[in-house]
Structure 1
Amino acid sequence: MKRWRRAGRARNARRAGRVWDARRAFHASLACLARERRTTGSDSVTTPFAHSFTKDEDASMAMSLYEPALTGFQDRPRGLGSACRVDLRAALLCSLLLLAGCPSASTSTIPSFTPLVDKDVLSVVRQQFPHGYAIGDVTSSSALLWFQGTEAGPVHVEWQAGGASATRGWQSLSVNLSKDRDLAVTVLLSGLEPGTTYRFRVIPGVTPGQPVSKRLVAEGLEGQFTTAPSPARSQPVTFVWSADLGGQQRCRRHERGYPIFESMRQTRPAFALLLGDTIYGDDRCPSPPNMPGSDLLATSLDTFREKHRYQRGATDLQRFLREVPIVATWDDHEVRNNFSGPSEPLMAFGRQAFLEYWPIQGPADEGFRLHRSLRWGQDVELFVLDTRQYRSDNGEPDGPGKSMLGASQRDWLLDALTRSHATWKVIVSTVPVSIPKPGSKLIPGIDSWAKGEDGTGFSNELSRIVATIMAQPVRNVVWLSADVHYPQINAYDPDGDGTPDFHEFIAGPLSASPGRLAPLDQTFHPTTLYTETGFYNFGVVTIAGEELRLEIRDEAGAVRYTNTFQARRAVRP
């Protein structure tokens, strides 16, 4: 009897060893697959384990979790993943076969904390950080890291230069997740080097001075980003922009939510500009046909937060935010249609929720400030405007006292434009320059810069901006706009000499009802180079020195319009 018991224990031990070996082989093969995806740019990863990562977002999160602990793996043999069965023996066999293609693989680097139970290896990560993370406002020396947890308490953040092959030490800080900010936080990573890839990790449950265990690292988030080049360096850059997400009940129709983000991601931009209407607080998303969770109007801080959480449930958006740095600003539907900040009772709620859910951080003495400038190398400077917080009521007659920006922001813009030495100066305005966006019975008056037939609009303030551009002169100014739900490209010739003095590129919607084409206000002599409506879209800009290439792409990524612009040399006294 004792001999049988000893034999049974030996069999159980051998089985446990095989389970452990299979787990170890699986994680090593996953690292190998991760390495291939990073080096080849492949968009899909198939694993040989029962809980296979068949969705892009699962594979991406799994790779970010395990790859840093597993180094030295190379390419894998082609065509094996899809043939792997899901039972334990097949998982072990396929994993070992995959490892055969990784000549420098070493199982000694596989983490000892890997669980032995058959659970989704992402379960803890999904529980701790269900919305992943976002990187925003990347410069040559800093970046903002956003994430949201599920429990209040301390979180440890570490980062180091060098990406996956980093050899330098970690820098770190600790922050607290608080229910006062809906368990979301934006962390400033400063003192960074230009044009450098940084790896970071977010580890829950760590207090200052507490050792960081391998298990805590496994339960956290990992990712990477690359800082902007030095302002003295000219380097080609591609970025995308659009706006208007989930409007007029065109919300998340399935788990992916908004497929257009995958098309945007595939352009491999250095960053993306989101020009507002990232939620529609004043519109419902009925279910069906949409995914449940947003069939409500936002009238309190909690309901505005609920609107943002609903959007972040879209897996295509989650992946986009993990891989593409964001420059975000708000427009009217982050609160309600055509609102003006000083007179809007819901603005404080909408503004707080917006700042909680996007990687934005104003100066310490101006915590609600959204306007800012960002430099990307020698050739690009962005001037991101806040067209809502300080604006006069739309229904007021236009004149010297009416302002969309407020005096302080307007003076900042004019000074920053005239001081900029970037080749291209990009003014990010959520509303268009010369398309008169009409008001409503509830909030009358033109909502855009254009002069309306009723005497409203913000053309007087725009004239001051244009006058500064012309007087200096400030060359190679491009306005990026959105809000009207159709793309349009305009050239402006304020002095009528036949040479355009600045351009306007309009894109959107990401997912909202298409807008109706409207005649332009002729104050600044616009010429429309392209306009079209009836489809979801985004813009792509590639700048290489004095050349700017523009594309308008549809939801599937097909190019609907393209043009190339050459910079004009600055002539300043």
Structure 2
Amino acid sequence: MVTSVADRFRIVIGLVLLSVGQGCVSDSRPGLPPSGPFSEQPAPTEALLPQGVAAGDVTDRSAVIWVRTDGPARAQVVWSPERQPEILGKSAVATTAGERDFTLAVPADGLAPATAYRYRVLVAGIAGRPFQESAREAGQGRFRTAAAPDVAEPVTFLWSGDLGGQQRCRGERTGYPIFDAMLRKSPSFLLLLGDTIYGDDRCPAPPNVTGADFLAATLDDYRIKHRYQRGDRFLQRFLAAVPVYAIWDDHEVGNNFSGPSEPLMPIGRQALLEYWPIGTPPEDPTRLYRKVRYGADLELFILDTRQYRSKNSDPDGPGKTMLGAAQRAWLLEGLARSTATWKVIATSVPLSIPKAGNKMVPGIDSWARGADGTGFQTELRLIVNDILQRRIRNVVWLATDVHYVQINAYDPDRDGAPDFHEFICGPLSAAPGKPVPPDPALAPTTLYSEGGYQNFGLIRLDGQSLHLEILDDAGQPRFAHTFPKTGP
């Protein structure tokens, strides 16, 4: 039995030498164009990086590279612009350890804006020769940095969520092929809006790949759930080519959880941070809400709707919060100061769909107020009123969670002109939900509402308009609409 990274290296090198004597194998990768950045490179060594690679939290000057080795190892990430491979950046050599389940989140700093980069992951065993003598390339990927804040260029990105729920997990024969449909859209990035795992649900085998037919209750359980998802070849191929901004919703811990009152929240959060390339501030290493500027026309505000929220069962009112005071102030200040044409707010739960709880976790889980008086509508009203009073234009909310598509235009001041929009999509792979009309409190007009299929959203924007498409798991459009910007 192979029990260490060093053992795997000996086997891998032996296989490489054997293949040299037996002839060449095609280097092309299924699902990618022949002229793409991976077409001339061998596939990653799965025995060394069994969950592949990923890049995330990309800015105009930096990125975070994620890797996981299959046991203790030394690792280094090197990167260079695709058009200037001689300009090489590299991380320090780091050792993967069991305390983080052998994962690394490596910052890549000092990058150039609006530039395509290729990165390679070098891995060596713990013992033996110096790293530079013994390291071998174990995986590679690419990303493109954002344009500088004063540079206008079109941006195309995707969003969705809800992966592997209600026993619709990695099919033995199918996996998650929706990611190949997403890859074909050539997005700048993916915004993954939560439920990246279903820690509180089972994945029975068959029909699914074995390994996740249990309910998570420990840190190792949550780690296994993440490893199960990241073992999918379609997801690995996507993440090697497209950077991701990931945030959690409830199923990374448990159904409809509220952070301060949920004892499993700290270990669910730890597993999330171990398995996604999320750049947290050193002074607040568990903070998940963040923003990113993507050229002159997009600023993205990613909310954490779980960690600071009051209990769902508490009556709605001035003392109830989903965001917490600090995050709410951060959002309002960021929106007011933003000079981007489009201000996009990522919320894992929808604005006006009262998502009900159950006997174990009662109370409305989304922003809207329910008939039982629960919800988070008072706090949402504070945010909406601030948007109206400051005349902040071109605000779009993105959501998932309810497992169907709904596109809403809101006119809370009831002057006949929409003040902001909400686009809801998903699931990526979960039981479809049945659409319900939005709550009327914020005067929504529904432009489209449909369930019954797996889906993702695509946004293409510039300084003049935002184009929206909802696409099914084959990449076929089900809805499309272009929204012109308002104001000067």
Cross-structure match for 1:117 = none
- Do the aligned partners of 1:436 and 1:518 also contact (CA within 8 Å) in 2? no
Mapped to 2, the partners of 1:263 and 1:144 lie a distance apart of 25
Cross-structure match for 2:377 = 459
Letter in 1 for 2:60: S
Cross-structure match for 2:10 = none
* Matching residue within 71, 79, 97 for 1:151: 71
Matched, 1:300 2:218: yes
* Matching residue within 183, 188, 191 for 2:110: 191
1:295-344 deviation digits (Å, cap 9, x = unpaired): 00000001111111111121111111111100100000001110000000
1:465: how far off?
0.4
* Matching residue within 41, 58, 66 for 1:64: 41
Cross-structure match for 2:123 = 204
Matched, 1:163 2:82: yes
Mapped to 1, the partners of 2:184 and 2:169 lie a distance apart of 22
Letter in 2 for 1:369: R
* Matching residue within 180, 194, 201 for 2:99: 180
Mapped to 2, the partners of 1:296 and 1:18 lie a distance apart of 40
- Do the aligned partners of 2:472 and 2:478 also contact (CA within 8 Å) in 1? yes
Q: Which has the higher contact order (CA 8 A, sep 6+)?
A: 2
* Matching residue within 103, 125, 139 for 1:221: 139
Letter in 1 for 2:335: L
Cross-structure match for 2:176 = 258
Mapped to 1, the partners of 2:34 and 2:221 lie a distance apart of 43
Helix, strand or coil at the partner of 1:348:
helix
- Do the aligned partners of 2:60 and 2:114 also contact (CA within 8 Å) in 1? yes
Mapped to 1, the partners of 2:240 and 2:78 lie a distance apart of 17
Cross-structure match for 1:473 = 391
Helix, strand or coil at the partner of 1:334:
coil
| Equivalent residues, number | 470
1:256: how far off?
4.6
TM-score, scaled relative to structure 1:
0.78
Mapped to 2, the partners of 1:21 and 1:284 lie a distance apart of 46
Mapped to 1, the partners of 2:120 and 2:193 lie a distance apart of 28
Mapped to 2, the partners of 1:256 and 1:383 lie a distance apart of 34
Cross-structure match for 1:95 = none
Mapped to 2, the partners of 1:466 and 1:557 lie a distance apart of 34
Matched, 1:535 2:436: no
1:20: how far off?
5.6
Mapped to 1, the partners of 2:131 and 2:355 lie a distance apart of 57
Structure 2: 5+ residue stretches without partners: 1-16
* Matching residue within 246, 263, 277 for 1:328: 246
TM superposition outliers: structure 1 runs of 4+ over 6 Å:
206-209
- Do the aligned partners of 2:76 and 2:90 also contact (CA within 8 Å) in 1? no
Listed as ranges, the matches of 1:360-439 within 5 Å are 360-439=278-357
- Do the aligned partners of 2:454 and 2:473 also contact (CA within 8 Å) in 1? yes
Mapped to 1, the partners of 2:273 and 2:91 lie a distance apart of 23
TM-score, scaled relative to structure 2:
0.92
Structure 1: 5+ residue stretches without partners: 1-16, 43-59, 66-120
Matched, 1:339 2:316: no
- Do the aligned partners of 1:417 and 1:425 also contact (CA within 8 Å) in 2? yes
Matched, 1:554 2:459: no
- Do the aligned partners of 2:409 and 2:444 also contact (CA within 8 Å) in 1? yes
- Do the aligned partners of 2:258 and 2:310 also contact (CA within 8 Å) in 1? yes
* Matching residue within 136, 151, 154 for 1:233: 151
1:205: how far off?
2.1
More helix by share: 1
Helix, strand or coil at the partner of 1:64:
coil
Helix, strand or coil at the partner of 1:289:
coil
- Do the aligned partners of 2:250 and 2:306 also contact (CA within 8 Å) in 1? yes
1:452: how far off?
0.8
1:497: how far off?
0.6
Cross-structure match for 2:46 = 126
When Rg is computed on C-alpha atoms for both structures, the one with the higher figure is: 1
1:165: how far off?
4.9
Listed as ranges, the matches of 1:466-545 within 5 Å are 466-545=384-463
1:264: how far off?
0.8
Helix, strand or coil at the partner of 1:333:
coil
Listed as ranges, the matches of 1:82-121 within 5 Å are none
1:224: how far off?
2.3
1:223: how far off?
2.4
Mark the CA change 1:450 to 1:183 in structure 2 (over 3 Å): closer, same or farther: same
- Do the aligned partners of 1:256 and 1:314 also contact (CA within 8 Å) in 2? no
Mark the CA change 1:484 to 1:454 in structure 2 (over 3 Å): closer, same or farther: same
Cross-structure match for 1:356 = 274
1:19: how far off?
8.8
Cross-structure match for 1:565 = 483
Letter in 2 for 1:178: A
Mapped to 1, the partners of 2:358 and 2:408 lie a distance apart of 26
